[in-house]
Amino acid sequence: MSERDPQFLSVGTGDEARQIAYRHEPGTETAERPGVIWLSGFRSDMLGSKALEVARVAREAGNAVTRFDYSGHGESGGKFIDGTISRWLEETLAVFDRCCTGPTVIVGSSMGGWMALLLALARKSSGKVAGLVLIAPAPDFTEDLLWNAFPEEARRAIETKGVYEHPSDYSDEPDVYTRALIEDGRKNLLLGASIDPGCPVRILQGMEDQDVPWEHAMKLVSRLPVSDVTVTLVRDGDHRLSRMEDIMNRILPAIAEFGVG
């Protein structure tokens, strides 16, 4: 099935207004057959292989499915360099509130795992968060995995120039880290305290992940007080976990536990 053109949702006002591209396919949203929303990672978009396969399986089973691009990503408006965790969370909440009308499983990959946790906490009282599936989740990555690991020249560039560029393993264009991203990230840190999303959690983590070490996932587990938490460690898995065997044998079964697919 070819991709339909996205719809757009305006988020923010004045100079902060940006058009967020999203694709929502309605279905039945019940406790037994919840909808699903996909949250992409840093510099990823809703047309990635994992997002497409999750959407296909949900669609064919009659589950509602929602995907979108953060500002500065994919088909959405705005500039990537303006992105912060709070800004992208605002967009995540807006799409969730617009599209997810019933029980919904939140699936987050990498930075999307941080967004998934923040979304679940923000909408915990809504009764709509049916479960979390976190793929190589990267909560607090701006501090724990970037700032704390940056060499001195990187920190100096951010403090003096407001930006640091680093060659990307996934793109011809460098990764860009701004002072705003780092400083705003500190307002959204989660791993220093208990995190209670009020729903079951499934975590999938590659042990060969060079971006988000598997120990980071275990640190997250130690902060989750809910009893229904499981972790699947993939011995030869990398950060993306986008091999077909990872998608078919791990990601899809994880969401199927919640009635998706």
pLDDT by 10-residue block (mean), the chain, 261 residues: 87 96 92 94 96 96 97 97 98 98 97 98 97 98 97 96 89 90 98 96 97 97 91 95 94 97 91
Q: How far apart are CA 44 and CA 48, in angstroms?
A: 7
Check if 73 is active-site. Answer: no
- Selecting among 140, 239, 242, 246, the annotated active-site residue is 239
- pLDDT at position 116 is 98
- pLDDT at position 2 is 65
| Residue positions counted in the chain | 261
Q: Which residues are CB-neighbours of 214 under 8 A, at least 6 positions away?
A: 205, 206, 207, 233
Check if 44 is active-site. Answer: no
Neighbours of 134 (CB within 10 A): 27
- Selecting among 69, 140, 184, 209, the annotated active-site residue is 209
- pLDDT at position 1 is 53
- Selecting among 44, 76, 109, 110, the annotated active-site residue is 110
| Residue from 89, 86, 92, 113 nearest 182 by CA | 86
- pLDDT at position 29 is 80
- pLDDT at position 201 is 98
Element spanning 119, H or E = helix 111-122
DSSP string computed for 31-71? SSS-EEEEE--TT--TTSHHHHHHHHHHHHHT--EEEE--T
Check if 209 is active-site. Answer: yes
- Residue ranges and CATH numbers for the domains of the chain are 7-140+195-256 (3.40.50.1820)
Backbone angles phi, psi at 199, to 5 degrees: -155, 165
- pLDDT at position 245 is 95
